[in-house]
């Protein structure tokens, strides 16, 4: 038996599990590497064009509608952009952990709905809140990273299984609700210093994750909004009237198909529409049941 190569095994165990998480993580990591390769090329003087700054400008979500209109694709690209190593490592680990926990209870369509819808809601909310002068202040003027999606995932899990217990190194067994509250607090605190508009947007992402889960528990799966079914072409079918075939019997009843056809005929046209043979069958059935 031919031994499987390490690279082939890696791709099989990583990308053929049916989970969308490895694909999301791969996009984030590849984009992070490309950004810093561009930065390195500029620092080494290989290129004079500020490629790193150009990529950040065109991939992160701006804080004004006038700039957003010129770069509308940033509403889709901003969650995958990272400029710091610590930040991307932290978020990748959290996404893997939270995504895996979510998929232990629900399916990948629901995960993608919670995760990606939060980006659209948070992005549009960030654009609106950035117009408030007080919130527009901060060292970062644009929005990037998948923190909003993580917030929605954590909130949805907290609503679904608030008393879920997780064993943490050095801390022992901790309830998931406690972990979620600590995560939300740290993220909001970070954004308060870095990007006030993002800090004001963060609770909206939390609210979306909670609403999705409350609706799901009430029997309303919001992820079904994104299930598209092909319209089937109408086909004209000309019904062929089937003539009942009666089985000869002596002492035994006719088959159930014949009985059903007779009863259908009575419901549509009345008892008088039956033939003498059909009336005889009904009479025989009633006598057999009485006996």
Q: Output the pLDDT for position 2.
A: 53
43 lies in some domain? yes
Whether 121 shows a pLDDT value over 50: the answer reads yes
Whether 272 shows a pLDDT value over 90: the answer reads no
From 226, 251, 273, the end of a domain falls on: 226
SS (H, E, C) the chain: CCCCCHHHHHHHHHHCCCCCHHHHHHHHHHHHHHHHHHHHHHHCCCCCCCHHHHHHHHHCECCCHHHHHHCCCHHHHHHHCCCCHHHHHHHHHHHHHHHHHHHCCCCHHHHHHHHHHHHHHHHHHHHHHCCCCCCCCCCCCCECCCHHHHHHHHHHHHHHCCCCEEEECCCEEEEHHHHHHHHHHHHHHHHHHHCHHHHHHHHHHHHHHHHHHHHHHCCCCHHHHHCCCCCCCCCCCCCCCCCCCCCCCCCCCCCHHHHHHHHHHHHHHCHHHCCHHHHHHHHHHHHHHHC
* pTM for this model (two decimals): 0.73
Q: Output the pLDDT for position 268.
A: 65
8 lies in some domain? no
From 170, 198, 226, the end of a domain falls on: 226
Average pLDDT over residues 255-270: 69
Average pLDDT over residues 53-73: 95
Q: Give the domain extent around 249.
A: 239-291
Reported as a single tens digit per residue, the pLDDT across 92-101 is 999 999 999 9
Whether residues 74 and 128 fall in one domain: yes
Whether residues 243 and 203 fall in one domain: no
From 170, 202, 226, the end of a domain falls on: 226
Reported as a single tens digit per residue, the pLDDT across 134-173 is 888 778 889 999 999 999 999 999 999 888 888 887 778 8
Average pLDDT over residues 36-59: 92
């Amino acid at each position: 038996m031919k031994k499987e190569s390490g690279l082939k095994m890696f791709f099989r165990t990583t990308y053929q599990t049916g989970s969308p998480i490895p694909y999301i993580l791969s996009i984030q990591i590849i984009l992070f590497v490309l950004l810093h390769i561009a930065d390195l090329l500029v620092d080494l003087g290989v290129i004079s064009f500020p490629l790193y700054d150009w990529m950040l400008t065109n991939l992160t979500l701006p804080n004004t509608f006038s700039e957003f209109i010129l770069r509308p694709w940033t509403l889709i690209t901003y969650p995958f952009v990272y400029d710091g190593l610590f930040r991307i490592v932290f978020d990748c680990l959290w996404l893997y952990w939270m995504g895996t926990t979510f998929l232990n209870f629900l399916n990948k369509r629901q995960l993608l709905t919670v995760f990606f819808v939060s980006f659209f809601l948070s992005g549009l909310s960030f654009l609106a809140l950035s117009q408030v002068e007080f919130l527009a202040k901060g060292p970062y003027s644009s929005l990037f990273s998948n923190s909003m999606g993580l917030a929605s995932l954590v909130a949805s899990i907290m609503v679904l299984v608030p008393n879920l217990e997780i064993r943490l190194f050095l801390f022992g067994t901790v309830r998931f609700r406690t972990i979620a509250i600590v995560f939300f607090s740290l993220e909001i605190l970070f954004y308060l210093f870095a990007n006030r508009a993002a800090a004001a947007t963060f609770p909206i992402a939390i609210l979306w994750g909670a609403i999705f889960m409350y609706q799901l528990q009430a029997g309303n799966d919001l992820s079904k909004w994104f299930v598209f079914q092909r319209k089937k072409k109408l086909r004209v079918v000309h019904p062929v009237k089937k003539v009942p075939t009666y089985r000869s019997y002596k002492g035994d009843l006719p088959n159930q198909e014949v009985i059903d056809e007779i009863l259908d005929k009575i419901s549509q046209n009345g008892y008088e529409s039956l033939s003498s043979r059909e009336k005889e069958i009904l009479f025989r059935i009633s006598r057999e049941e009485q006996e």
